[in-house]
């Protein structure tokens, strides 16, 4: 059984017609690299800076836009995924990981800023968010942040080495 990615856009005109394919590849590669063999489900909202700012304000009490927000469905241990610690859909057997929101304005701006383009940036932000859903964090400068950055680089290298599906 495959992973399920529910993608929606909260506004028209956000661009990136191949977003579903890019996000699917990033999610599936991240889960595979984290050695997760059970089917999972997550939802992805594509929005703009105004939309992500509203979400950030409502759920984190931070009144600013950002590139990506992650809302894990369970408190998981980074690098030690245990599907019993998360909610499983009894009908499909999929483990629900949580939700993410991505600002398409940030995708384009950061893709230009870092010189790797919007496609790469969208996949990077997706990988970053999947790792958050799996329990990784980067809020301090300690070992967890280094581990998360290392996993991001490894997963992105794998994505960049994968041919188009």
Q: Report phi then psi at 23, rounded to 5.
A: -70, -45
Averages of pLDDT over each 10 residues, the chain, 165 residues: 91 84 96 95 97 96 96 91 92 96 95 92 97 85 82 94 55
What's the rounded Cα separation, in Å, for the pair 36 and 77?
Answer: 13
Could you give the 3-state DSSP secondary structure of residue 163?
Answer: coil
Architecture of domain 4-160 in CATH?
A: 3-Layer(aba) Sandwich (3.40)
Q: State pTM to two decimals.
A: 0.92
Distances (CA, A) of 125 to 20, 119, 130: 14, 10, 9
How do the domains of the chain map onto residue ranges? 4-160
């Amino acid at each position: 059984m495959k992973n399920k990615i529910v993608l929606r856009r909260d506004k028209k005109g956000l661009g990136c017609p191949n977003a579903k394919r890019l996000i699917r590849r990033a999610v599936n590669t991240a889960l595979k690299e984290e050695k997760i063999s059970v089917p999972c489900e997550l939802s992805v909202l594509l929005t703009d800076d105004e939309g992500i700012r509203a979400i950030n304000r409502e759920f984190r009490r931070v009144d600013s836009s950002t590139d990506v927000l992650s809302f894990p469905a369970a408190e998981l241990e980074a690098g030690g995924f245990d599907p019993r610690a998360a909610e499983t859909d009894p009908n499909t057997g999929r483990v629900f990981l949580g939700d993410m929101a991505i600002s398409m304005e940030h995708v384009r701006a950061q893709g230009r800023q870092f010189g790797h383009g919007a496609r790469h940036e969208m996949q990077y932000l997706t990988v970053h968010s999947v790792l958050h859903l799996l329990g990784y964090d980067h809020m301090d400068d300690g070992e967890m942040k280094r581990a998360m950055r290392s996993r991001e680089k490894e997963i992105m290298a794998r994505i960049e080495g994968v041919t188009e599906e």
